[in-house]
Amino acid sequence: MKKLLFLLFISLQIQAQKPLTAILGAFSQEVKLLEDSLSNKKEVNLKGIRFLTGELRGRSVVVALTGVGKVNAAMTTSILLMKWNPEQLIFTGIAGGIHPDLQPGDIVIAKATFEHDFGKIDSTGFTLRATRNPAYIELNPIYFPADEILLKKAQSISNKTPYKSVGNRNLKVMTGTIATGDVFVNSNQKVEELRLKYGADATEMEGAAVAQVCYQQKIPCLVIRSISDNANSKAHLDMKTFEFVAAYNSASLVLGILGSL
């Protein structure tokens, strides 16, 4: 009997240590495909936030909505990391395209993310500054690098992933830099600034905040975004038209990555 209980204990310990991948999106459309594909689905509510656990492509996962903006994204990420301590984290969703070659439905796999609204303003204008890790009083990098393993897996699987197309054009998948800020960019002038001054290829409102939390907690992280608009004066209209296709394409690539882990 004691031997049986010991084996049961060991079995439970092994199950508890099974590698788990965290997947986050800012709003429901961004994770709908993933939630609908979950097997062995279980809902967990923490601090009012709904998390779904289960399996995707044979991988144990936890999926959640962060809500829009950097604070919501960082809060949800922190709660998730404390509860589940995932092996890696992937953020999926839509973004405004900044690179001139990007169109709705295309994908940017972030090799780096940065917070374009964190810095200082003086008489000469705005200057980016690095955030600081409060635990060790160390400066973070301005550009948070993607995890190399996740980045390479995303790149290798991207041309084998089923996507939804927009019109007759071939969908483009690009490895690039994503700018994050607490503003919905709807301005040609801002697009030009983010592109020329900071080298951004797309802009959104959560990725770098999640990347910062993961960087400070040493959790491998990757941000994937599909283009819903071009962040210009028509962005608010284009987003409503293309957000479903963009959200689907980003989530579809995440499924492909999970299958390769």
Residue 39 near residue 105 (C-beta atoms within 8 A): no
Q: Which two tokens mark 220?
A: 């491998």
Which residues are the active-site residues?
30, 229
Give CA–CA dist 20/51, Å, rounded. Answer: 14
Who contacts 182 (Cβ-Cβ below 8 Å, separation ≥6)?
Answer: 69, 70, 71, 117, 205
Give CA–CA dist 10/48, Å, rounded. Answer: 33
Q: Which two tokens mark 122?
A: 């003086």
User: In 17-164, which residue ranges form alpha helices assigned H by DSSP?
Assistant: 28-37, 70-84, 148-157
| Amino acid making up residue 176 | G
Give CA–CA dist 187/14, Å, rounded. Answer: 52
Interstrand relation of 119-122 and 125-128 (parallel, antiparallel or unpaired)? antiparallel
Q: Please tell me what DSSP assigns to residue 156.
A: H
Q: Which two tokens mark 254?
A: 């995440």
Residue 179 CB neighbours (<10 A): 31
Q: Which two tokens mark 170?
A: 């071939």
Give CA–CA dist 82/51, Å, rounded. Answer: 13
